[in-house]
Amino acid sequence: MSLKVVSINSLSSTRDNILKAAYKTLACKGFINFSPDDVADEAGVTRKALFRQFHGMRNLIKELGDSGIYWPLTSELISLAPKKCPEIAPEDQIEAFFSSMRKALFIRPETLRILGWEIMERSALSEELENIRERTALEFFEHLKPDVPDDIDLGAAVALIGSGFNYLAIRSLNTRTFGGIELQTDEGWERIERTMKVMLRGLLFP
């Protein structure tokens, strides 16, 4: 009896195709209507093959989050930040984080759509992606110098600014301007980032 040999590259390609199909399907359908059948159809595989690769939808979403397809890895964000980032002031580093994040997300419009779904729909799968985002932010801010005053709640400051950033980024998919700011141009976002820096400076060093 002859054995059927499946190359490692073939398995890797199938896995990548399923991850990309899950990403596209989630952006289109949201969390509630996200189903293994839709992912399998998009990937061109059987439902059985999908579960053989990932052993469940939660594992699939977790690997999608870790893959760099859905969310930029810390290494990507650091590569988009100024080379002098470890030595600059805290407010400049936080500005660099959001600037890097904007560049990374704007080449991932499906991620912005998924973030929009997450505002409306909560599930175990959305929690997996939330954990990925939290981890990436924490890893980036490990590069901050300890110059932030002890009485400043840096986490709350980042959450407040980050929520506005995410909202405007999601709106940019379908909205040209907001409050007179162009959301679909680099010039508009540069204005936002400059103002963010002024706000951070006033918050961190009043």
pLDDT tens sequence across 16-68: 999 999 999 999 999 999 999 999 999 999 999 999 999 899 999 999 999 99
Q: Phi then psi for 177, rounded to 5 degrees?
A: -135, 155
Does one domain contain both 85 and 152?
yes
Residue 8 has a pLDDT of 37
Same domain flag for 193 and 108: yes
Same domain, 114 and 15: no
Q: Is pLDDT of 85 > 90?
A: no
What mean pLDDT comes out for the span 104-123?
A: 93
In whole angstroms, what is the distance from residue 129 CA to residue 120 CA? 15
Position 103 in a domain: yes
Phi first, then psi, for residue 178 (nearest 5°) are -145, 120
Angle between helices 109-120 and 8-29 (to 10 degrees): 50
pLDDT computed for residue 133 by the predictor: 87
Let me know whether 139 and 94 are in one domain. Answer: yes
Specify whether 52 is located in the same domain as 92.
Answer: no
Read off the pLDDT band of 97 (50, 70, 90).
confident
Last residue of a domain, one of 18, 50, 67: 67
The rounded percent of the chain whose pLDDT value lies above 90 is 50
Q: Which residues pair with 181 in a beta bridge?
A: 178
Question: Which range (38-42, 70-74, 113-117) has the least confidence?
Answer: 70-74
Q: How far apart are CA 143 and CA 90, in angstroms?
A: 10
DSSP conformation letters of 8-26: HHHHHHHHHHHHHHHHHHH
Mean pLDDT over residues 164-192, rounded?
Answer: 93
pLDDT tier for residue 155 given thresholds of 50, 70 and 90: confident
Q: How far apart are CA 144 and CA 62, in angstroms?
A: 27
The pTM for the full model equals: 0.84
Question: Is residue 177 within a helix (H) or strand (E), and if so which, with residue range?
Answer: strand 177-178
Give 121: exposed, middle or buried? Use CB within 10 Å, 0-12, 13-18, 19+.
Answer: middle
* Cα diameter, the chain: 78
**Structural domain tally of the chain?**
2
Q: Has residue 71 got a pLDDT over 60? A: yes
State which residues form the domain around 23. Answer: 8-67
The reported pLDDT for the residue numbered 152 is 74
Q: What is the pLDDT of residue 145?
A: 59
Task: For residue 1, tell me if it sits in a domain.
Answer: no
| Residue 157, number of CB atoms within 10 A of its CB | 18
Same domain membership, residue 177 and residue 114: yes
Q: Is the distance from CB of 70 to CB of 23 less than 8 angstroms? A: yes
Indicate whether 21 and 63 sit together in one domain: yes
Determine the average pLDDT of the residues in 91-117.
88
| Cα 138 to Cα 142: distance, rounded to the nearest angstrom | 6
Cα dihedral across residues 200, 102, 166, 59: positive or negative: negative
Q: Is 194 within a domain?
A: yes
Residue 113 sits in the same domain as residue 151: yes
